[in-house]
Structure 1
Amino acid sequence: MRFIDVFAGCGGLSLGLLKAGCQGVAAIEKNPMAFETLRHNLIDGQRYRFDWPAWLPKEAMSCEQLLNEHREKLESLSGSIDIMVGGPPCQGFSLAGRRNPSDPRNKMAEQYLQLVKIIRPKFIVIENVSGFDSKFSESKRTASDEDAYFKQSYADYISKELEGFGYSVSRGKLNCADFGVPQNRHRYFIICTKKTSDENLFRKLVSYGAHFRKLKKLNSKVHVSVHDAIADLEVANKKLIESVDSPVRGFSEIEYQLPDIIPPYLKLMRDDHVGAPNSLRLPNHKFDTIKQFIKIRQASEPGKSLSKESRDRLGLKKHAITVLCKELPAPTITTLPDDIVHYSEPRILTARETARIQSFPDWFEFTGKYTTGGTARKLECPRYTQIGNAVPPLLSEAIGLVLLNQALSEETTLNVAEK
């Protein structure tokens, strides 16, 4: 099963599909930082390599650029791609944001639809935030927002377009924790097949969760906890060494040691990796910041976002900050590292800890700077942002296995019908 990943980010969807046994062909990502992480690990990686077309430059590019500069060559891929996946940028839909119908990032989903028309993959998977299926507020519409899709949810609009292309469409929300990811991350999926089918592929995916966890030797009845995911990365009783995996010096990291007892989730994350993972750099918090984190831990209920009353009392300007509950999955990992406080240490999480909670294995190396700020935030995609934006690879592996099973089922049905 050959796939193309559009709006690929650092490669969460691609990694899961590769682990499921699919073959990567191309990945489109316009941010150079995110694309370099993807290229380093998966396109030209040691464990995986894409069957990259000779005519396509191995470089960051937008979907628009791909369509404008390579449309003729793209047509040569028509009929040879089994799966097209992609999570168009979602800030315009996010319930946590301003839900601006005029946000130009909303238009990127339309470019995705253009690609579908050219390539005609057998299966399509679109991932987005929960708000993708919520209608825009009438009060936030402007005079220019008269397009039909603003009178419905964007998910409705895209689904109708795909049905018009001849696809059977199934869709809905799921929780990534149901697939072994130690995080209550609710996301909206649209899954399509070219075959006219009564089968609801989205429902098939959701019902596959418990079996997938068993397959991965995880408890099928209890979600993976934060402690299961990052206990071996705690600072307590560890030797600290200089962190040297980015150009900025003056930071420390733990000298990694594999614990004597390796729980099932950690075994999955180690994935036969030898030695320390990268991105272990610890934050250099000021003394006042550490004191504030201690106060936040005292004022909060672990696992629940700090109340407005407590935020006001502590003088916090942030809208949301959560202290992790070690026995439960994390809340949604975002692109802002200071949204979450460690369950037992007065600090934010390291990039590797967020990667573990997103289910990236330890051999997967994140490249580039760790964070950014100010005006650069709109242009750059540092490690924390790459990780926060990704689709958890464990979930995307489950998607790949469901689509592989579906393809086999359709092929068997076709062979029987021909006989």
Structure 2
Amino acid sequence: MVKLDERGRGKNKPASEYDINEVRNVLLEKIDGEMQLNINDPLDYREEDLIYRDNKMNLLSLFCGAGGLDLGVELAGLDVVLGKEKTNEFLKDRDTFNAVRNDGVFHHLYSNDFFKEALETYKQNFPKSVLTHNKDIRKVKQFPKADIVVGGPPCPGYSSAGPRLVDDPRNFLYVHYIRSLMQVKPRFFILENVKGMLTLADGEVFRQIKQDFEASGYRVYPKLVNARDFGVPQIRERIILVGVREDIDFEYVFPDPTHGDSPDLRPFVTLREAIGDLEEEPGDIFEGSYSSIFMSRNRKKSWDEQSFTIQASGRQAPIHPAGLPMEKVGKDQWIFPDGEENNRRLSVKEIARIQTFPDWYEFSEGEIDGISKNGRLNKVYKQIGNAVPVQLARAIARPLAQYLHDEMKKGQVKQTKEKVIG
């Protein structure tokens, strides 16, 4: 939809009622407005606090959140050095993993997010050598030099569950991702976002976004992927953009699915496999009644299926698979035939498993004084729901990690050593 400046009701109308040129003009106007924001604030982190690794690919993470995308990329960098089986063994224990995480291709240099609790989570789980920056990306004057940029700009404005306004200001944070590419000039970038980005305004929004990234000097490889095809026990479709700097002779090819119904693939990972052992001791759970909107459709998968998409909300968490299936009793009306008291939402620990975080991963609740248990837990549900599933990120990053590892072995790639572009 395009939001009009008219007062009163009916000020939003579907973008399909607009001429494509009108939509494009709205987009270009907003992009220009974002670029004109005041970004001349003093640099509020010290250059000397940036720790570069000369023998690694230094990584810049934007909208890093709790670190799902970052951890997946890191695992891909370990896989090509140690092998996936060994990496998986090390990943089972925090201390063991920390002892080998410097052996991979990538080094986390700088991470930025405006969500304070998510950044606290990131700091608890990544090396202290990472400079974590809690600041609105629109006010970051200068991004550090790096070899690869990763991140998923906030996406409520694209989501099919939201209002889907073409000029929702949250839709234009990607412009600052592009600004980072223009400053940093990394070899590669990885961007993740919701499926709705593809269809908003009959695809015009996505076409504009792709052109903007290409204009910043990158060949852009887009694809809609489903996390369950890569061992994630969740039906979660996301658009991935991988960018390769124009001067680099490398064609990115998305990995083939590793899981599916085909006999030559491993079976999809089920909820029973992922969280069956947590049924008796699930940990903290968001509690409370279910709204009529929540009960307007099925929210419960069986043990032998994959979860619905994990949302960034405790109240909207899917229902645990135990007990009877939900039952449709009318248009947009479902019930729990065995009673609401016999059904609960998935716990924090369970949704973290479904998002393929390791069990040792810690999530920050932030300030707890004066905040209800549900309020604190909701911050954690939000972090986990917003994250890129770790195993999906790992699969997407693997081709880049393999290319860089091979080139580094041949001495064809010189690592980034500069501090900040002046």
Aligned 1:12-411 pairs, distance under 5 A = 12-20=68-76, 21=104, 22-44=106-128, 49-50=129-130, 52=131, 58-67=132-141, 71=142, 74=143, 77-78=144-145, 81-136=146-201, 153-195=204-246, 200-201=251-252, 204-207=253-256, 209-210=257-258, 220-235=265-280, 254=281, 280-284=283-287, 318-339=295-316, 340-344=318-322, 346-368=343-365, 382-408=379-405
Residue-by-residue CA offset, 1:241-270 (whole Å, 9 max, x unaligned): xxxxxxxxxxxxx3x8xxxxxxxxxxxxxx
User: How has the CA–CA distance of structure 1 residues 195 and 284 changed in structure 2, closer, same or farther, with 3 Å as cutoff?
Assistant: closer
TM-score, structure 1 normalization: 0.65
Q: What is the one-letter code of the residue matched to 1:357? A: I
Match of 2:222, as an amino acid?
Answer: R
3-state DSSP of counterpart to 1:135: helix
Deviations 1:148-203 (A, max 9, x none): xxxx53332222122222211110100111111111110001101114578652xx
Q: Distance in 2 between the 1:161 and 1:284 partners? A: 43
Please, which runs of 5 or more residues in structure 1 have no aligned partner?
A: 53-57, 138-151, 236-253, 257-279, 293-310
Q: Judging changes above 3 Å, is the alpha-carbon distance between structure 1 residues 18 and 317 closer, same or farther for their aligned structure 2 residues?
A: closer
* Corresponding residue number in structure 1 for 2:61: 5
Structure 1 letter corresponding to 2:67 = G
Gap change, CA 1:338 and 1:412, over 3 Å in 2: same
Kept in 1, the 8 Å contact 2:187–2:248? The answer is no
TM-score by length of 2: 0.64
Please state how far the C-alpha of 1:116 moved relative to its aligned partner: 0.7
Q: Secondary structure of the residue that 2:254 maps to in structure 1?
A: helix
Distance in 1 between residues matched to 2:408 and 2:382, nearest whole Å: 40
Q: What is the one-letter code of the residue matched to 2:199?
A: S
1:321 is displaced (CA, Å) by 4.2
Task: Please give the secondary structure, in 1, of the residue aligned with 2:364.
Answer: coil
What letter is aligned with 2:348? A
Instruction: Using the TM superposition, give the Cα deviation of residue 407 of structure 1 relative to its aligned residue in structure 2, in angstroms.
Output: 2.6
Distance (whole Å) between structure 2 residues aligned to residue 369 and residue 229 of structure 1: 27
C-alpha deviations, 1:31-73, integer Å up to 9, x for none? 11111111111143xxxx53x3xxxxx4411111212xxx2xx
- Post-superposition shift, 1:413? 9.2
Report what 1:145 is aligned to: none
- Deviation string, structure 1 residues 254-299 (Cα, Å, up to 9, x no partner): 3x8xxxxxxxxxxxxxxxxxxxxxxx214555xxx5xx8xxxxxxx
Q: How far, CA to CA, are the matches of 1:177 and 1:196 in structure 2?
A: 34
Q: Point out which structure has higher relative CO (alpha carbons under 8 A, 6+ apart).
A: 2
Q: Does the CA contact (< 8 Å) of 2:255 and 2:395 recur in 1?
A: no
Report percent identity of matched pairs. 29
Cα drift, residue 19 of structure 1? 2.2
5+ long unaligned stretches in structure 2: 1-56, 77-103, 324-342, 413-422
Q: Tell me if the contact between 1:174 and 1:206 (Cα under 8 Å) persists in the aligned partners.
A: no
Structure 1 residues 363 and 317, CA gap change in structure 2 (3 angstroms): closer
